[in-house]
Amino acid sequence: MTGRGRRDPARQSARARVSRVSRFLGEVDEHLGTDLAAQSEVVARIEAAVDPDASALGLLRIVEAAVSADSRELLDVLADPEHRSALLPRLLTITGASEALTDHVVRHPDSALALMGEGHLSLDVPGTAAEVLRDTLLHAVDADPDRQIVAPVARVTGEEGIDALRRAYRDEVLRLAADDLEAPAPEAVVDEVSRVLSDLAGAAVEAALAIARAELDPQARVRMAVVAMGKCGARELNYVSDVDVVYVHAPPADAPDDAEAPDEEAVRTAEAMVARITEIVGAPGREPALWELDAALRPEGKSGRLLRTVDEFDAYYRDVAESWEFQALLKARPIAGDVVLGREFSDTLRHHVWTASTRAGFVEGVRAMRRRVIALLPTQHADAQIKLGSGGLRDVEFSAQLLQLVHGEADESIRAPQTLLALYRLGERGYIAREDADGLESCYRFLRVVEHRLQLPRLLRAAVVPELEDRRRRLARSVYPRGDRTMERLDRELGVVRRRVRAYHEQIFYRPILEAASAAGAVTSLSPDEARQRLAAFGYRDTKAALGHIQALSAGVSRAAVVHRQVLPAMLDWLSSGVNPDAGLLAFRRMGESLRDSGWYLGLLRDSGSTVRSLATILSTSAFATGLLQRTPAAVAWIDEADDLEPRDPEDLLREAERLVSRHGAEAVKPLRALYGRELLRTALADVLERADVRVTGAALSTNADVYLHGLLTALRDEMDAAGVPAYEFAVIAMGRLGGAEIGYYSDADVMFVHRPLDDGAEAADRVARHVKKLALAFTKAASQSGAHPGIVVDSDLRPEGRSGPLVRSLDSYRAYYAKWSEPWEAQALLRARPIAGDAALRDDFLSLIEPLRRPTEVPEASIRQMRRLKARMEAERLPRGADRRTHLKLGRGGLSDVEWTVQLVQLLHGHAVEGLRTTSTLPALHAAVAAGLIDRHDGEVLEEAWLLVSGLRSAAMLLRGRTVESLPADPFELEACARLLGYESGHGRDLAEDYGSATRRARRVVERLFFGFDDSADADDPWVGRHD
């Protein structure tokens, strides 16, 4: 009782359970004539079971089945107190833990007798040797297991043979599970459990092959070997798992040696046998299927041929195989069929595994595959997934395999397919710290036990810790045979183990390198040459320089050196995931040297793993952002705060610029440039870390340029408008991409200058004209100068008459020019005109002046033809020599010019009537055109996709190298780097190229229709399309 009138639910539940157990045992006693319900040791055994109710009920079901089947031997054993003690405890363990195995005994009551006798988890017990298991299952289908018989043939076939095989297999699993569940320390025997399961799977495939041979190849002409891959190959199989295999075949023994073509009949028979083996072990039947034989790891995957010769396998792994396939090959082991052929497969292909790491990009390819697996996990199960999730079994296996592949070519002693053995040998040989190897082994054993316990209840594949408390409670009781068996303990220890695995995973690759570089306090024995080999495998090219950087960062006893030693293993790992690890490490060294005495920086490195990871991404991916960060290293602190990378509010930024001008006056140019550089860095960091898209980036860069140029003009006027200069107004009009508020890192600031004298008289006007020219020249020079901080190039070539015309015109001069000389292209250029600096009244009046030009109520057909001719001429004449029009970003097919000119034509034609078109920006105008029905929605989406992709690609190229590019990168490294900056997964550079080609090709077809007026029959790759006017 917990209080008057209240009952304790836990006690109430326990009493109900005791009542149910007593009732079930009472019914058992009625069948057997025993008094089990009164025997305290039996009741205690049931109470200790994973599920006491299921334990007692399962016993009752088995006894009832035995009575129904008249299984006298089992009933006699259970009724006899002397014999019962050898069976009942183990039987109750099974019934309390595995409904599937209980069902097996209910179907075959005599199978319970397999639980009598000693357990067999020791390699010293012959009953579980691979050869004995093979013989047992071959005997089940009445095939002679004599080793002298190369190809055993079953005498029990068809459904009867399948039933016999499956029952014999499950009898062995039943015995194994009882030993496993009763082991006082399950982690200590988990590797032996997996070994028995793997050998048992091999025996089952051998017996299935004997059945298939009897049915399809009784003369045993077919020479075929079944090679296990994955867990079965490594003898690490779970209770329930797909058995990954590949099939090797060879010509029949009676085939002539000089036969030029394969024996087609033998090949067809072998293919039929493969299909039959798959059915025997995995198809539905009277006895439940065992597991699936999965041949998806064969060359070319599911689209590849099921059968290949050894020579064909050899050619594939030599010339075609991807990086991850060598990981699978590392675990290959023949398990059934022609022993000589299986040995030939292993001997021929083994060397491919140990030379794979010398291939370019090998490690990154393997790691990319691991990242894709994690990314594909359902979000709701990611934390509960103990196999594939972060900190799970795969991370341990991945770590061991990768180190084996890197160092195994030179050191045969670490060539072990089993994960636990590999960890032991890697630690013994000094490739990882012994304590790290021991820690990973402990974590791996625990996680494997949890995985086994997840699968045992229903003998189904499972690797996700259940959410339901009742199921988690049973799981905990099965993981812990004694002591604290609560789900709280399980949840706590799972969390600890997964965090430890993640930590080990980050440090085991690089801590030995750090020790090799410092040559002090090493707990590993990695030589400098081996350290350089490992760095090279992980993508570092100048490994000698890399070791020098590591030594410089970590040497000594200073606080900086201590912190660097702590973070370098993870930092080296994260840098190696970038596109240029060497540049990233060099930049990290420079930052470490410049901030070695900054407590906030060292604290950030020590305490914020997410910040360090983001910093590694920046330093190893973007030369542009890295250069800016080295000028303003304090900005590293922004990375730790997501809000600090958000674009600044334009009004706040403008007020800050005005305060700088107010404080510094004519000396404000340098502080303004520092402000510009700081905000440019903020935008670049957000871009590299994928916290902003092309639209946000373009707007932020444009706002930054606006504020910088506004402040610059104000400061210069404070300096240059000395006494004696007649009163005037002056304004800067942004044009082009700046006018559209969509500039990139690469963009110049296209502008026009306009002024208006405020004093009457020709002399005053002349003096103002000379002065504003000096002002415009000073503005252009000051804006583009760079020193400690970058500037922005000001280009005024879009002014009337271009470079031949006056640099600065008065408002009246613009009015006169546009009234008499204006060309259609100039009206088009004015669509993007946007005042950004100078006197407000003049800015407004300039806009009023150009409004009729860029929003005409009618556009003459001749003007449209002229625009089309000009566009075609630009494509023909302005495309650089040797440039490919299919890949040129601005002038190429479906590039920026195509999309922007198409949108601008719609603006010219309809801007007077559609308010949404009265914008200087491309995408808002495009959206307005779609909303007004002027452009079809699908066409609009096609144009927008191309514009965003090309704009993003230009920015990515600038971020990568710090310089502009004109075309889609042809260099695979640069293409891959740009793809990574655009959010593609590692190794998908070609996907970017294909997406670019597809998007721009579709966009060009839309442009042909909407801008040039041609129908869909026009070929978008025809260089003369659009030039027919």
Does residue 1028 register a pLDDT over 70? no
Same domain, 151 and 70: no
Strands 333-337 and 293-294: unpaired
Q: Per-residue pLDDT averaged across 998-1019, rounded?
A: 85
pLDDT at 123: 45
Same domain, 904 and 768: no
Same domain, 838 and 874: no
Same domain membership, residue 251 and residue 319:
yes
How do residues 125-162 score in pLDDT, each as one tens digit?
Answer: 666 789 999 999 999 999 999 877 789 999 999 999 99
pTM attached to this predicted model: 0.72
- The answer, yes or no, to whether residue 522 has pLDDT greater than 50, is no
Contact criterion met (CB below 8 Å) for 831 and 904:
yes
**Range in 106-110, 320-324, 618-622, 729-733 the model is least confident about:** 320-324
Q: Evaluate if residue 260 carries a pLDDT over 70.
A: no
Total number of domains in the chain: 4
- How far apart CA 581 and CA 620 sit, in angstroms, is 5
Q: How many whole angstroms separate alpha carbon 372 and alpha carbon 384?
A: 18
Average pLDDT over residues 88-97: 96
Given a cut of 50, is residue 1020 above it in pLDDT? no
| DSSP state string for 719-784 | HH--TTSPPEEEEEEE-HHHHTT---TT--EEEEEEEEE-S-SHHHHHHHHHHHHHHHHHHHHHHH
pLDDT of 718 > 50? The answer is yes
pLDDT at 549: 93
Rounded Cα gap, residues 125 and 175, in angstroms: 14
Tell me, yes or no, whether 100 and 176 share the same domain. Answer: no
Burial 312-345 (b: 16+ CB within 10 A, else e): ebbebbeeebebbbbbbbbbbbbbbbbeebbebb
Q: Distance between CA atoms of 978 and 983, rounded to whole angstroms?
A: 9
- φ, ψ for residue 752 (rounded to 5)? -125, 150
- The structure tokens listed for 363 are 């490690």
Give the integer Cα–Cα distance in Å for 721 and 608: 51
- pLDDT of 526 > 60? The answer is yes
* Percent share of the chain, pLDDT over 90: 66
| Residues 626-683: tens digit of each pLDDT | 999 998 888 998 987 878 899 999 999 999 999 999 999 888 999 999 999 999 999 9
Q: Which of 612 and 444 is assigned the larger pLDDT? A: 444
Cβ atoms of residues 942 and 1009 within 8 Å: no
How far apart CA 106 and CA 60 sit, in angstroms, is 10
Res. 17: pLDDT tops 90: no
- pLDDT per position as a tens digit, 936-974: 999 999 999 999 999 999 999 999 988 888 899 999 889
- Strands 243-250, 307-308: parallel, antiparallel or unpaired by DSSP? parallel
Q: Are 450 and 475 in contact (CB under 8 A)?
A: yes
474 located within any domain: no
CB 96 within 8 A of CB 52: yes
3-state SS, residue 834: strand
What is the token pair recorded at 196?
A: 């028995």
What region, left, alpha or beta, does residue 142 occupy, with left being phi > 0 and alpha being psi -120 to 50 degrees? left
What share of residues in the chain are helix, strand, coil (percent, to 5)?
A: 65, 5, 30
Residue 824: pLDDT above 90? Answer: no
The predicted structure's pLDDT at residue 703: 96
Question: Would 455 be classed as within a structural domain?
Answer: no
What whole-number percentage of the chain has pLDDT above 70? Answer: 93
Across the strands, what pairs with 243? 293
pLDDT average, residue stretch 734-757: 93
Cβ atoms of 720 and 649 within 8 Å: the answer is: no
Residue 986 or residue 477, greater confidence:
477
Under the banding of pLDDT at 50, 70 and 90, the label for residue 399 is confident
Predicted confidence (pLDDT) at residue 1023 exceeds the cutoff of 70: no
185/322 same-domain check:
yes
DSSP notation for 134-154 = HHHHHHHTT----TT-SS---
**Secondary structure letter of residue 967 according to DSSP:** B
Q: Is the pLDDT of residue 240 over 60?
A: yes
Task: Note the pLDDT of residue 774.
Answer: 96
Q: Do 1000 and 1019 share a domain, yes or no?
A: yes
> Same structural domain for residues 900 and 947?
yes
Place of tokens 């600890």: 496
Domain assignment of residue 107, yes or no: yes
Domain assignment present for 941: yes
Instruction: Report which residue type is found at 975.
Output: L
Which 3-state string (H, E, C) describes 600-652? HHHHHHHHCHHHHHHHHHHHHHCHHHHHHHHHCHHHHHHHCCHHHHCCCCHHH
- pLDDT reported for residue 408: 87
Give the CATH number of the domain where residue 823 resides: 3.30.460.10
* pLDDT: which is higher, 98 or 382: 98
Q: What are phi and psi of 615, to 5 degrees?
A: -60, -40
What pLDDT sits at residue 958?
93
- CA separation for the pair 896, 893 (Å, rounded): 9
229 lies in some domain? yes
- Residue 373 is predicted with a pLDDT of 73
Whether residues 766 and 880 share a domain: the answer is no
Q: Residues 981-1009: what's their mean pLDDT?
A: 92
The stretch 170-196 carries a mean pLDDT of: 95
Q: Which pLDDT score, from 0 to 100, does residue 516 have?
A: 67
Predicted confidence at residue 7, as pLDDT, reads 52
Mean pLDDT of 67-80: 95
The candidate with the shortest Cα–Cα distance to 329, out of 298, 308, 364, 304, is: 298
Specify the CATH number for the domain of residue 924: 1.20.120.330
Mean per-residue pLDDT, 212-237? 95
For residue 657, the tally of other CB atoms under 10 A from its CB is: 25
pLDDT band at 429 (very low <50, low <70, confident <90, very high): confident
User: Looking at the predicted structure, is the pLDDT value of residue 122 above 70?
Assistant: no
Instruction: Summarize the confidence of residues 868-896 as an average pLDDT.
Output: 89
Residue ranges in 33-112 assigned as alpha helix (H): 40-47, 52-69, 72-79, 81-84, 88-97, 99-107
Is there a single domain that holds both residue 908 and residue 803?
A: no
> Interhelix angle for 99-107 vs 158-182, to 10°?
130
Task: Evaluate if residue 573 carries a pLDDT over 60.
Answer: yes
Give the pLDDT band of residue 369 (cuts 50, 70, 90).
Answer: confident
Final residue in a domain of this structure, among 325, 353, 381:
353
Q: Per-residue pLDDT for 380 more than 80? A: no
Contact 200, 133 (CB under 8 A): yes
* Residue ending a domain, choose from 797, 828, 854: 854
Identity (one letter) of the amino acid at 125?
A: V
896 and 915 together in one domain? yes
495, pLDDT greater than 90: yes
Q: Which domain holds residue 665?
A: 653-854
| Mean per-residue pLDDT of the chain | 89
Q: In this predicted structure, what is the pLDDT of residue 127?
A: 66
Q: Is 546 helix (H, G, I), strand (E, B) or coil?
A: helix
Please check whether residue 515 lies inside any domain of the structure. Answer: no
942 and 1010 in a single domain? The answer is: yes
Q: Among 830, 854, 878, where does a domain finish?
A: 854
Q: How far apart are CA 898 and CA 888, in angstroms?
A: 11
pLDDT for 216 beyond 80: yes
